[in-house]
Amino acid sequence: MPKTASAAQAHRSRRITLARKTLSPADRYDANIDHILHAAACLFAEKSFGLASIRDIAARAEISFPRIYYYLRNKEEILYLISRRAFEELLRRANIRLAGVEDPEQRMRLFIESHLGYHMDNLAEMKVLVHESDTLTGRQAADIARLKNDYSRLCRKLLEQVAAKRGATLDRDRISIITSLLFGAMNWFFTWYDPERDRDRRERIMEEIFQMAVGSLSPR
């Protein structure tokens, strides 16, 4: 018989606990933070950042309420780290995929595949990034804005390279609009994407978004 959702979660938690026990103290500390951040992301995605409490996060991560403060200071820090790690991983994956590739259209396709691949495998984190990261303030907000700008700048550069290859001229306004439309398509597809139903269509989804993006990059 298939596992219920609660049974599957309990099984996953046991595997994580066993894996952490085999790590060095420093690595175990990092693994515990990763576990707490993922639990928090799932909770924020379900309840929203505003409605979830530290006590809720501790319960989801199966860690005692007082002990969670050994790892993280407050809920805002948790949201900040979820957002920062998501952008850092998106940038890391994109740079790895693009390394050594010269053709602009292939580079654009790889960027889209990298972004959507992360998104499809980390739906909770991406939902939090899209919906909740604007809640941050001060230095945390500034740091996330910097990472977001770095990532957007990379996307714009790739689009400009495709346009140049096709002989199209893009002014600042047009490239800004196209970039925003592309991220809109990539970031909001979690509203309809179902991993069980759509997993076999992953490649087609990526290709359709690529064709949609580059289709507008032709001379007028």
- CA gap 130, 76 in Å, rounded: 16
* 36-55 pLDDT per residue, tens: 999 999 999 999 999 999 99
Place of tokens 């609009």: 177
Q: pLDDT value at position 195?
A: 83
Give yes or no for a contact between 37 and 85, defined as CB atoms under 8 angstroms apart. Answer: yes
Decide: helix, strand or coil at residue 61. Answer: helix
- CA gap 14, 81 in Å, rounded: 24
Residue 110 lies in a domain: yes
Q: pLDDT value at position 26?
A: 62
Same domain, 165 and 84: yes
Same domain, 174 and 121: yes
Identify the burial level of 192 via C-beta atoms within 10 angstroms of its C-beta, where 0-12 means exposed, 13-18 middle and 19 or more buried. Answer: exposed
CA-nearest of 199, 219, 191, 188 to 209 is: 188
Same domain, 60 and 105: no
The answer to which of 2-6, 149-153, 193-197 has the lowest mean pLDDT is 2-6
Same domain, 109 and 183: yes
Average pLDDT of the chain, as a whole number: 87
Residue 177 lies in a domain: yes
Of 43, 71, 99, the residue that ends a domain is 71
- CA gap 156, 163 in Å, rounded: 10
Domain count, the chain: 2
Q: pLDDT value at position 25?
A: 59
Same domain, 83 and 162: yes
Average pLDDT over residues 103-128: 95
Of 16, 47, 71, the residue that ends a domain is 71
Residue partners of 180: CB distance under 8 A and separation at least 6: none
Q: Is 136 left (phi over 0), alpha (psi -120 to 50) or beta?
A: beta
Give yes or no for a contact between 36 and 61, defined as CB atoms under 8 angstroms apart. Answer: yes
Of 21, 50, 71, the residue that ends a domain is 71
Q: pLDDT value at position 8?
A: 47
Same domain, 108 and 206: yes
State both tokens at 149.
Answer: 């700008």
Q: Domain residues for 161?
A: 75-215
CATH number, residue 139: 1.10.357.10
Give yes or no for a contact between 162 and 108, defined as CB atoms under 8 angstroms apart. Answer: yes
With both helix axes pointing from N to C terminus, report the angle between 172-187 and 138-165 in degrees, rounded to the nearest 10: 110
Is pTM beyond 0.75 here? Answer: yes
DSSP state of 4: P
Average pLDDT over residues 94-111: 96
Q: pLDDT value at position 160?
A: 95
Q: pLDDT value at position 15?
A: 52
Average pLDDT over residues 99-120: 95
